Structure 1
Amino acid sequence: MKATLVFRYFWPETVLMNDIARWLVEAGHEVEVLTGQPDYRPHLKMPRQPPRSVWNGATVRRLPLLPERGYGLVRAVNGLLFVLLASAAIVFGRRRDVVWTTSIPPVVQALALLLAARLRGARFVYFLQDIYPDIAILMGIMKPGLLSRLLVALDRFVMNHADVVVVLSDDMIDVVRERGTRPRRLVSINNFSAQEPVGERAPGNEGGPARFLFAGNVGRFQNLSTLVDVFARVDPGIAVLDILGEGREKAALEARVRDEGIQNVRFRPGVSSEEAFALMAQYHVGIVTLRPGLYRFAYPSKTFSYLAAGLPVLALVEPQSALARDIEEHRLGVTAPWDVEMDRLVDIVVDMAARWRGASTVESGRPLYSREAARSRWLDLFGTLDTGQGHSSDISEQDRGGAER
C-alpha cells in the first residue's frame, strides 16, 4: 500500500509515529510522512531538518510553518496552518491508499484529513490518543455549550466515516460508544515504551530515602499540587519526590515548595525522552497521577517507560480505570483514587518506600510496554486495510479490548 502518516512531530523527536512508519516500511509498504520541524519541546532546541528526506525508507516532507519560540499564539497558529498544508498536500498530491493521523490538534486535524482522504479515494485511520472536547471541559478549559456540542458532533462525524478508529483503552471505547458513535471498526491498541527495556535490577539495598519520580508534562492534567501536599507530610528521611519535566504549572509549584520550605520535593529540568529514560534507573518508584475522571479520555503513556525502566508504579487514579486494572492484574505497583483521605495517601507512599524499592517490573510489565506486541497489532490493522477488510461493519465488537492482554 501507499500510506501517508500525518502528524506535526516526527523524528528526531520521540513519537509513536516513528515506529509506525518504520514498521510499515519493513512490511513492504510505501510510506510518506507529512510533518513539521522538531519543536514539540522548544527547550530542547533540536536542529532543523531538511524539507525533504528519507528516514529508514520512509519519505519525509516537512511542511513550512512559522518560527516558534515557545507555547504561545504562534504554536496555535502553526497547528491550524499545518492542518491546511497537510490537507492540501493530500488533495493535490499523488494517489494514496491510506491516510493515518492522530487527534492532535483535536478534532480539526482529523476532520480536514478525513475529507481530503475521501476526495482522493483513500482509506482513513483515526488514532484517537485523547478525547476532546471532554478533556477540555473536565479541566475547566472549555465550558459545555454550543462550541463543545459542535466539536462532539464533528468528531462523531469523523469516527463514523473513518475506516478504523484506534483508541488506547476500553475506557475510551466506552466514551466513544456513549456518544452514540458507531465507527466501521473500533480497535484498542495501547502505546508502548519508546525505549528498550533495561536489564533486571534491584536498586533497593542502598541507604537513604526511597526516591519517587514523576516524569512528564508539569501541567494542569496531573493534579501535581495535591501530590506535593502528600509528600509535604512524608518524612524526608523516608521518601523524596523528584518532578522531571517542564510545563505551565512548574513555576508555581517551584515557588510553593520554596516558600513553604518543603524539603523532599525537588525539580529537575526537562530532558529528551532518551535522557529521561536513563535517569529513571536511579529511582525506586514512578508516579502516574491523573485528575479525577481523566482516565476515561486518555491513558498515560509514561506508565510504559517506567515499567521498561524497571520502576514499580504508584498510580493515583480511579480503581475502575483500565490503568488501575493493568497495574493490579500484573502486580506492578499500587493504585489509589484521589478521593481517599490525605493520611491514607501518605501511608501508601510510606508503605511503598519500604516494600517496593527493591522491586523490578522489567519482566512482569513486559505484556504492557512491549513494542513487538504493538508492532504486531498495527501491522495486522494495516493488513486488513490492504485486503479490504477494514470496510466490514461487523468487526468492531470483536476488537473491543484489542490490547489482548
Structure 2
Amino acid sequence: MASKKTDLAIVNRSFWPQSQVIGEGLLQFAEQTAQHHSVCVITQADGDLATLLTNKGRGKGVQLRACKSYTTSSSGLIKRIAEALFFMFWTFISLVRAKPAKVYVSTNPPVVVPLIVAVYCRLFGARYVYHLQDIHPEAANIVVPISGVLFRLLQAVDNYSLRHADAIITLSEDMKVYIQQRSNTQRPIHLLDNPSFDVKPVPMAQRAKDIVFCGNAGRLQRIPLLMSAIRDYLQQGGKLCFTFAGGGVHAPDVKALANAYEQVDYLGFIPATEAAELVNQHRWALLPIDDEVTKYAFPSKSSGYALSGAGVLAICGEDTSVARWVEQLEVGVVCPADSNALVKCFFSLEERGVESFAVGDEVRERLLIPYFSRKLRDYIFVGTP
C-alpha cells in the first residue's frame, strides 16, 4: 500500500457557495473533519474559491483542488456530459496528487466520477464511501432515453463502484432496495435525508400567502402538468394565488403563466435562505415529482418544506416513497398526477381551515445541515475522533 498524504478527500462537483445547501453541508463536514484529520476537497468553482473561503472565515485547515465550472443545470446535455468527463480526469489527477486514505464521493456527476474514485482506491489501497443522492443511469434515462447497450454498460460500471465501496449512503428505503437488487452489493447501506437550512416556522394563522413552489423547475417535476392544472383552476374561478421561485428548463413556462395571470407570481432564482423564508410565508408548498424517478431519487426541497411547517402538496402516485414520506411524517396531502384531480385538489384547499404541519424535534434535527455533516463524518470515521 502506498503511503498516504491526506486522510480524506471529499469529491463533489458542486460545493459551497454555488451549491447552497449540500455545499454548506459538505463544507461543514470538511471543517469538522479538518480539526482532527487532513482533508482535501475536489470540486469545481466559478471563481477563486480559496480566497472566498478565507474572506468569509471558512474552510480552516481544508485543502482545495477546484477546477473552473463551465455549465449549469440549464446547460445542454452534451455540454454537461463533456464537463462530467473533464471533471472525472481532474478528479483522478487530484486524487493521485493528494493521495487520500479515504474518499467521500457522491453522484455529482454520476457514474464516471464514482468509477474513477473506485479505480484510484483499488490502485492505491484506499477506501471510499459512495453517496447516491440519485441513481444513474436510471434517473437520466427517464429524461433522455439511453440506448440499451450504453444503459447496461453504465449500470455495470456503477455496480462495480457500489460493490467495492466501503459503505453506501442513499436517501430512501426504495432507493436502498433498488441498489441492493441491481448491484447485489453486500456493503452496508445507510439512509440519510437531504438537509436544509433551519427555519423557525411561522404560525399557520399568520401566513398571508397560499401556495408556493421553490426549487428546480426541471424535467422530472411535472411542470407542464402543473402549469396546465393551474391554468384550468384559475379559468374556473379559483381564488388561490401561486408563487414560483427557481430556475430550470421549464422556467420560461412558469414565467409565461405568471405573465398571463395576476394570481401567479414568478420570482426567478433566489438564494436558498430567501427561499426558506418564502416558503414560510405560504400555507402550502408544491412537491411535484415523476413517479418512476422516486425509485431512483428523492426531491431535495422536501426537507426545507417539512421544516417550514407549510403543508406539503405532493403531486405523485400513492405508492411512491414521496407519498409515504408525506403520510408518515403527517406533513401534508398527496394528489394524483392528473390535471382534473389537481384542479379539484386546489379547490379543496380553499375550504380547508388552519392546520398545523410542524414536525417534531427529532425529525427537525434529522433534517438540518449539522446533522447531515455529522453523520457523513460518522460513516467515514467510525470509532475515531
The TM-score, its normalising length taken from structure 1, stands at: 0.82
Return the alpha-carbon distance in structure 2 between the equivalents of residues 16 and 224 of structure 1. Answer: 24
Match of 2:93 in 1: 88
Return the alpha-carbon distance in structure 1 between the equivalents of residues 286 and 105 of structure 2. Answer: 29
**Letter in structure 1 aligned against 2:204:** A
* Partner secondary structure for residue 8 of structure 1: coil
Return the alpha-carbon distance in structure 2 between the equivalents of residues 283 and 191 of structure 1. Answer: 22
Return the alpha-carbon distance in structure 2 between the equivalents of residues 117 and 90 of structure 1. Answer: 9
* Partner secondary structure for residue 239 of structure 1: coil
Q: CA RMSD in A?
A: 2.8
Q: Is 1:350 equivalent to 2:347 in the alignment?
A: yes
* Partner secondary structure for residue 200 of structure 2: coil
Return the alpha-carbon distance in structure 2 between the equivalents of residues 6 and 293 of structure 1. Answer: 28
Q: 2:8 aligns with which of 3, 9, 16?
A: 3
**Letter in structure 2 aligned against 1:111:** L
The Cα of 1:205 is off from its aligned counterpart by 6.9
* Partner secondary structure for residue 177 of structure 1: helix
Return the alpha-carbon distance in structure 1 between the equivalents of residues 211 and 51 of structure 2. Answer: 42
Match of 1:136 in 2: 140
Contact 2:309 2:357 in 1 (8 A): yes
Return the alpha-carbon distance in structure 1 between the equivalents of residues 305 and 349 of structure 2. Answer: 15
Q: Is 1:149 equivalent to 2:143 in the alignment?
A: no
**How big is each residue's C-alpha offset from its partner over 1:13-64, in whole Å with a ceiling of 9 and x where there is no partner?**
31424324424543533321111214xxxxxxxx643479663334242433
Matched ranges for 1:341-380 at <5 A: 342-355=339-352, 358-361=355-358, 363=360, 366=364, 369-380=367-378
**How big is each residue's C-alpha offset from its partner over 1:182-207, in whole Å with a ceiling of 9 and x where there is no partner?**
142222212121x112144234575x
Task: Indicate the percent of aligned positions where both proteins have the same amino acid.
Answer: 25
Pick the structure with more helix per residue: 2
Q: 2:75 aligns with which of 53, 71, 76?
A: 71
Match of 1:242 in 2: 243
**Letter in structure 2 aligned against 1:2:** D
**How big is each residue's C-alpha offset from its partner over 1:90-137, in whole Å with a ceiling of 9 and x where there is no partner?**
12x243221111112120111011111222221111111111111122
Match of 1:16 in 2: 22
Return the alpha-carbon distance in structure 2 between the equivalents of residues 175 and 296 of structure 1. Answer: 7
Return the alpha-carbon distance in structure 2 between the equivalents of residues 75 and 97 of structure 1. Answer: 30
The TM-score, its normalising length taken from structure 2, stands at: 0.85
**How big is each residue's C-alpha offset from its partner over 1:170-226, in whole Å with a ceiling of 9 and x where there is no partner?**
110121123142142222212121x112144234575xxx52111111111111111
Matched ranges for 1:6-405 at <5 A: 6-13=11-18, 14-23=20-29, 25-26=31-32, 28-38=36-46, 48-50=48-50, 55-65=58-68, 71-72=75-76, 74-91=79-96, 93-139=97-143, 141-193=144-196, 195-203=197-205, 211-235=210-234, 238-255=239-256, 258=259, 261-339=260-338, 342-355=339-352, 358-361=355-358, 363=360, 366=364, 369-384=367-382
Contact 1:65 1:82 in 2 (8 A): no
1:151–1:75 Cα change, 3 Å: closer
Return the alpha-carbon distance in structure 1 between the equivalents of residues 251 and 53 of structure 2. Answer: 36
1:167–1:373 Cα change, 3 Å: same
The Cα of 1:367 is off from its aligned counterpart by 5.9
The Cα of 1:245 is off from its aligned counterpart by 1.1
The Cα of 1:154 is off from its aligned counterpart by 0.5
Return the alpha-carbon distance in structure 2 between the equivalents of residues 58 and 349 of structure 1. Answer: 51
1:255–1:292 Cα change, 3 Å: same
Match of 1:403 in 2: none
* Partner secondary structure for residue 5 of structure 1: strand
Return the alpha-carbon distance in structure 2 between the equivalents of residues 251 and 219 of structure 1. Answer: 11
Contact 2:31 2:62 in 1 (8 A): no
Return the alpha-carbon distance in structure 2 between the equivalents of residues 383 and 50 of structure 1. Answer: 26
**Letter in structure 2 aligned against 1:159:** L
Return the alpha-carbon distance in structure 1 between the equivalents of residues 355 and 373 of structure 2. Answer: 31
1:251–1:205 Cα change, 3 Å: closer
* Partner secondary structure for residue 18 of structure 1: helix
**How big is each residue's C-alpha offset from its partner over 1:241-288, in whole Å with a ceiling of 9 and x where there is no partner?**
222111112224434665xx4453332211111221222222111111
Contact 1:5 1:21 in 2 (8 A): no
Match of 2:3 in 1: none
318-327 or 72-81: which moved more?
Answer: 72-81
**Letter in structure 2 aligned against 1:287:** L
1:35–1:272 Cα change, 3 Å: same
